[in-house]
Amino acid sequence: MSIDLGIVIVNWNVRDLLAACLDSVYAELAASATTLSGVVCVVDNGSRDGSVEMLRSHFPRTRLIQADNRGMGAGNNLGLRLLAAEYSPAAYMILNPDTIVRPGALRHLVGWLRTRPPAGVVAPKLLNPNGTLQHSGFRYPGLVQLAWDLFPPPRPWQWLRDSPCNGRYPPWAYATSAPPFQVEHTLGAAFVVRDLALAQCGLFDEAFYLYCEEIDWQWRLCRAGWECWIVPQAEIVHYGGQSTTQTGATALFHLWRSRHLLYHRYHRPLTNLLAGWLVRYALRRRIYAYHQPHSRGLPPSEQRAQLTRVLTEIIHLWQS
C-alpha cells in the first residue's frame, strides 16, 4: 500500500490539544480525499493524562505506538519506521500535537513538493493562537543568534529579535499572497519531508533528546543538496511549548545540551570557543542574580536552587 502523506505526531500529556489537532488533520484529509491520501501515526511517550484511552475511543483509525519517553527524535523515528514499512508514503509530515491544521494546509505543502523536485523539506506559515505570525523559517544558528538569546536587548530594541539580525526572515515574506520562499531550516512544529530525502539522509539523530533535532536533520539534508521551503498559503496554528513547559528546568538542560551538540557538529573550533565563553559568562551572571537579595522578578527560592544546579551543569558542559 502506498499513500501520499504519512503524518507522525509525538504526544506527551497533552490529551486535549492532541484531540483538537487530530480533528483538524482528519477534517483536512477528508476534504482532500480525491487528491491526497494520508495516514496518521501517534507515538505516545508514556502519557499519564488519558491520551491513549482518548485515542482508542475517539480516533480508532489512528496508528498508535506506545513507547517509553526516549525523546522527540526517537519518538518520531518510531512513527517514521512504521509508516515507511507499512504504507511507503511519498512524503512524511512531522507535526506537534499542539497545532491546528487550517483548511488547505496539507494540500499546499504536498503540492509544492510535487512541483519542486529539489525541495526536501516544506513547512507552513505558523500562527500564534491569536492569529499573529509565528516565524517558521530560520537561518542556521551561530554566534549572533546565541548572543541575542543570552543577552536580550532593551525593550526599545526588542523588535530586532524578529529581524534578519536574529536569523529570521522578513514578515512580509509570509503574506498569504506571497510565493513560497527558501530558508535554511524550519521550525520542528510542522514540516513535510520528501521520501527520497529521508531515504538518502536517514532518520533523526537520537542523540538530540529534546530540541534542535529538526535543525540537525535539515542541516544534513541541506548538505546533501536538498532545499527547505516555506509555503505561506499553508497555515497551521501552533500553541508552542505545551509539553516542554511541564518539565521546567529539565527542558532547559536539554535545550543547552542539544545546542552544545549542534554547535560542535557544524561550527569550527574558533566559533565554538567563542560560543562557550558567551554561554558560560551569561549563565554565571544569571546564577549571580539569583542570589542577590534585592533583585527583581526572581523565581521562588526552591526553584532558584534547582535552576542554579541546572545552570551549573550547563556551564560545565560548555567548557568542553
With a pLDDT cut of 90, the percent of the chain lying above it is 82
- Residue type at 194 in one-letter notation: R
Q: What confidence tier does 246 reach under pLDDT thresholds 50, 70, 90? A: low
**Cα(230)–Cα(143) distance, rounded to whole angstroms?**
24
Q: What confidence tier does 241 reach under pLDDT thresholds 50, 70, 90? A: low
SS (H, E, C) 120-157: EEEEEEEECCCCCEECCEECCCCHHHHHHHHCCCCHHH
**Cα(168)–Cα(172) distance, rounded to whole angstroms?**
12
Across the chain, mean pLDDT equals 93
Q: What confidence tier does 10 reach under pLDDT thresholds 50, 70, 90? A: very high
**Ramachandran angles phi, psi of 95, nearest 5°:** -135, 130
pLDDT in tens, 147-165: 989 998 877 777 777 788 8
Sign of the CA dihedral running 289, 292, 298, 300: positive
- Nine cell digits for residue 310: 541546572
Complete DSSP assignment for the chain: ---SEEEEEEESS-HHHHHHHHHHHHHHHHHTTTT--EEEEEEE-S--SSHHHHHHHH-TTSEEEE-----HHHHHHHHHHHHHHHH--SEEEEE-TTEEEPTTHHHHHHHHHHH-TTEEEEEEEEE-TTS-EE--EEPPP-HHHHHHHHSPPPGGGGGGGGSGGGTBPPGGGG-TTSPPEEESEE-TTEEEEEHHHHHHH-S--TT--SSSHHHHHHHHHHHTT-EEEEEEEEEEEE---TTGGGTTHHHHHHHHHHHHHHHHHHS-HHHHHHHHHHHHHHHHHHHHHHT-TT-SSPPPHHHHHHHHHHHHHHHHHTT-
In this predicted structure, the answer to whether residue 243 has a pLDDT above a threshold of 90 is no
pLDDT in tens, 202-231: 999 999 999 999 999 999 999 999 999 999
pTM (two decimals): 0.94
**Ramachandran angles phi, psi of 99, nearest 5°:** -130, 160
pLDDT in tens, 76-131: 999 999 999 999 999 999 999 999 999 999 999 999 999 999 999 999 999 999 99
Q: What confidence tier does 194 reach under pLDDT thresholds 50, 70, 90? A: very high
In this predicted structure, the answer to whether residue 263 has a pLDDT above a threshold of 60 is yes
Question: Which structural domains are found in the chain, ordered by start?
Answer: 5-244 (3.90.550.10), 245-317 (no CATH)
